[in-house]
Amino acid sequence: MPREITKFFIEEIETAIELNDATSVLTNLEELYPADIATVLYELNAEKSKYVLDLLDPEVSSEILSGLDADTRNNFLKNFTSEEIARYVNLMESDDAVDVLNEQNVQVREEVISLLDNEEKAADIIDLLHYEEDSAGGLMAKELIKVNINWRVGQCIEEIRRQAENVEQVYGVYVVDDKNKLLGRLGLKALILANDSTPIRQLYDPDVISIETYKKDTEVVDIMQKYDLDSIPVVNAQGKLLGSITIDDVLDVMQEQAETTMQLITGVTENIEEDDSIFRLSRARLPWLLIAMLGGLVGARLIKVFEAEISLVPAMAMFTPLITATGGNVGIQSSSLIIQTLANNSIILDNLMQRLLKVILVALINAVIISGLVLSFNILFKEDLRLSFVVSTALFSVVLLSSVMGTVTPMVLDKFGINPAIAAGPFITTANDLLGLAVYFFVAHLLLL
């Protein structure tokens, strides 16, 4: 069992580094997986991290660097020469190598590529650098196992053994023709059980799902989730096999999507980390806070418009927080559900009216229960009967309107290509606060005056 990483353990590593005690450092780290060593490096500064990476086996160090987040890795690599970076890039899979090089300036990038020992690896990296980072081409790795449809099983197995030296994990075997056009996929079980003389064309499955290089990374995630794939081949417009995307790369994209969505929902407009500068953290949070503040000022002016009603029935002010809070909560619930549905691409325009009708029916049930409970509460505590009816009527209306708004707003934003996650959190809360106040005072104006 790997050693537990505690504050004391980190201090022990730091002390050993300061004493230049390489033996002690290696002894402490030898039982840890690369991912655990990465956790240790997050607690060290760049110079101490470089000391550790230099001590470790280069293959282990390259794996650790591949798994670090971009900001931390870039900070570490500032202490490395181009020759040192090239040593690690040589041992990485092509997609990980491209991620590392994309974080460097042009001079370092070109120097590293020129220092690579493996000419095939260098060519693959240069090819991958042409693709956008958020595209299927930017996600794919060049390392894969492919065989020709005209081969027999014996020749195929020999070729797999040769190619597998450069592939970390074998997720599948792809079948191509003489022009490298993807024809299908070959199951490892069928390959192992077949005779050496069996033609590949008798064994492969032509029903293979692939994706073009120009497709967005979000589309890759959707396809691999939908069809439960552990890898997917990447082809060009002519259907020629260029590379493959594996599940580990897709998980990284999914994590980034989840983080981005959560930040948008909470009103953070930039991709930030906890250890970013104070200025960047403030800049990322401030826009939606300002919008919420403006919403509050508008709400204050709205209350002033109905100042006469409040002066006649001062108890109205007591229920203002109830109205705004209920509207905000209902809106966030509705928007969160619809955002989840949009993220899974499960909304079909044909059943839009059916979906809206369902939302309205659910909102109607909730509105009846909530307004009924509030009315009962006010009657029980002998509040003014007319005011009680005003509050309950306003709550009933707010729940209905907030539910519809929380459902429709994300769908409209998505239709116009805007991330619907911004509809949740501060946006819906602020909008429904204003909506709730307007409904409340309008109902009060009609029923009390």
The model's pLDDT over 16-32, given as tens digits with 9 standing for 90+, comes to: 999 999 999 998 888 88
Stretch 75-88: mean pLDDT, rounded? 90
Q: Percent of the chain beyond pLDDT 90? A: 27
Residue 290 shares a structural domain with residue 405: yes
Token pair recorded at residue 235 = 């082809």
Q: Taking 90 as the threshold, does the pLDDT of residue 319 lie above it? A: no
Token pair recorded at residue 411 = 């769908």
Residue 40 shares a structural domain with residue 118: yes
Dihedral sign (CA 70, 71, 72, 74) = positive
Q: Taking 80 as the threshold, does the pLDDT of residue 81 lie above it? A: yes
Token pair recorded at residue 234 = 């990447």
Distances 17 to 12, 23, 72, 218 between C-alpha atoms, Å:
9, 10, 19, 42
The model's pLDDT over 379-436, given as tens digits with 9 standing for 90+, comes to: 888 778 888 888 899 889 988 888 888 888 888 777 777 777 665 667 777 787 888 8
Distances 9 to 3, 23, 36, 160, 186 between C-alpha atoms, Å:
9, 15, 12, 43, 47
CA distance linking residue 83 with residue 275, whole number of Å: 29
Residue 109 shares a structural domain with residue 153: no
Residue 184 shares a structural domain with residue 68: no
Stretch 72-92: mean pLDDT, rounded? 89
Token pair recorded at residue 325 = 């809070």
We report the CATH number of the domain holding residue 342 as 1.10.357.20
pLDDT reported for residue 345? 59
252 part of a folded domain: no
Mean pLDDT for all residues in the chain: 83
211 part of a folded domain: yes
Give every CB contact of residue 146 below 8 A, 6+ residues apart in sequence: 163, 173, 174, 175, 176, 180, 241
Residue 295 shares a structural domain with residue 206: no
Cβ neighbours of 95 (radius 10 Å): 24
Residue 153 shares a structural domain with residue 120: no
Token pair recorded at residue 13 = 């590593």
254 part of a folded domain: no
AA letter at 340 = Q
Residue 151 shares a structural domain with residue 119: no
Residue 178 shares a structural domain with residue 78: no
We report the CATH number of the domain holding residue 45 as 1.25.60.10
CA distance linking residue 388 with residue 394, whole number of Å: 10
pTM of the model: 0.68
Residue 290 shares a structural domain with residue 377: yes
The model's pLDDT over 120-155, given as tens digits with 9 standing for 90+, comes to: 888 889 999 889 888 999 999 888 889 999 999 999
pLDDT reported for residue 209? 93
137 part of a folded domain: no
Q: Taking 90 as the threshold, does the pLDDT of residue 183 lie above it? A: yes
Terminal alpha carbon distance of the chain: 75
308 part of a folded domain: yes
Q: How many domains does the chain have?
A: 3
The model's pLDDT over 49-69, given as tens digits with 9 standing for 90+, comes to: 999 999 999 999 999 998 888
Query: What is the span of the domain harbouring residue 221?
Result: 145-246
341 part of a folded domain: yes
Domain boundary among 103, 130, 157: 130
Residue 182 β-bridge partners: 176
Residue 432 shares a structural domain with residue 324: yes
323 part of a folded domain: yes
Residue 351 shares a structural domain with residue 294: yes
We report the CATH number of the domain holding residue 149 as 3.10.580.10
Whole-number CA gyration radius for the chain: 30
Domain boundary among 71, 101, 130: 130
266 part of a folded domain: no
Residue 300 shares a structural domain with residue 423: yes
